[in-house]
Amino acid sequence: MLYAIISEDVKNSLEKRLAARDAHIARLKDLAADGRLVLAGPHPAIDSEDPGEAGFTGSLVVAEFASLEDAQKWADADPYIAAGVYQQVKVKPYKRVLP
């Protein structure tokens, strides 16, 4: 089943994000290589694809996991959590309708 992992950053998270980004992206690439990643990306803090120093306010990952518990375990192991980037992470079942 698909799960949405919705993360909210702490304020002024950009420096922490940059420090942990390589490890964070590596995990997403592993999901993609397994054919389980539907989409992933950050929420810019301003209306721009490249927010510069404004940074980001959170992230969204939609991926396939065997269970909600497995999705939660994966989300809990995100390097952004260890680096103090995320203040909150929600994992919810997701039903893809379109496309």
For 2-94, give the CATH class. alpha beta
First and final CA of the chain: distance in angstroms? 16
Inter-residue contact 54 to 11 (CB < 8 Å) = no
The domain segmentation of the chain, as residue ranges, is 2-94
pTM across the whole model: 0.95
Q: Give the whole-number percent of the chain exceeding pLDDT 90.
A: 99
> Residue 68 in 3-state DSSP?
helix
Inter-residue contact 87 to 10 (CB < 8 Å) = yes
CA distances from 59 to 2, 74, 82, 89 (A): 16, 15, 15, 9
> Residue 88 in 3-state DSSP?
strand
pLDDT tens profile 70-95: 999 999 999 999 999 999 999 999 99
